[in-house]
């Protein structure tokens, strides 16, 4: 006889909403680290305007990666058009989670082309010139 496990109830837990196509695109483009940073930004986002302001320390702890890696993934998420970052000197960054538009390739190409050492073991990626 099959065991009767309890199914989680939405009203019993707090949920963070993000679209599956968006998360899939983030993870395919930026990998697991980018996906985790994106998930935690979504978790902290205000339900009304999708803004949040978690510190690099908090994001690094939650995503279980270093602060430098968090900063890099935030820049890549911003370049790819998944988030918007408002920076003010002496104030926390304010992040806004943006709507993902499937088929918007221009920003994704910038992210891919921004690294001349893309999964090649340190050798420049053939066919991609830096500075694009």
Q: Mapping DSSP to helix (H, G, I), strand (E, B) and coil, where does residue 91 land?
A: coil
Q: Is there a domain that residue 1 lies in?
A: no
Q: Is there a domain that residue 33 lies in?
A: yes
Domain that holds residue 80: 18-113
Confidence of residue 9 (pLDDT cuts 50, 70, 90): low
Q: How far apart are CA 36 and CA 56, in angstroms?
A: 13
Q: Is there a domain that residue 109 lies in?
A: yes
CATH of the domain at 96: 1.10.10.10
pLDDT digits (tens, 9 = 90+) for 64-123: 999 999 999 999 999 888 999 999 888 889 999 988 776 655 555 555 555 544 444 444
pLDDT digits (tens, 9 = 90+) for 52-65: 999 999 999 999 99
Q: How far apart are CA 45 and CA 59, in angstroms?
A: 13
Total tally of structural domains belonging to the chain: 1
CB 71 within 8 A of CB 33: no
Q: Is there a domain that residue 80 lies in?
A: yes
Q: How far apart are CA 22 and CA 104, in angstroms?
A: 12
Q: What's the pLDDT at 13?
A: 55
Please state whether the predicted TM-score (pTM) of the whole model is above 0.85: no
């Amino acid at each position: 006889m099959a065991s009767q496990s309890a199914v989680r109830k939405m009203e019993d837990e707090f949920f963070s909403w993000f679209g599956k196509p968006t998360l899939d695109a983030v993870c395919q483009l930026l990998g697991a680290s980018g996906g985790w940073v994106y998930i935690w930004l979504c978790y902290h986002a205000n339900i009304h305007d999708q803004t949040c302001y978690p510190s690099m320390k908090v994001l690094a702890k939650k995503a279980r990666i270093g602060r430098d890696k968090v900063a890099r993934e935030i820049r890549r998420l911003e370049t790819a058009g998944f988030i918007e970052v408002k920076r003010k000197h002496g104030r926390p960054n304010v992040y806004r989670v943006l709507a993902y538009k499937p088929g918007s390739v221009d920003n994704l190409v910038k992210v891919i082309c921004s690294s001349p050492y893309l999964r090649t073991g340190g050798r420049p990626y053939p066919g991609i010139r830096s500075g694009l």
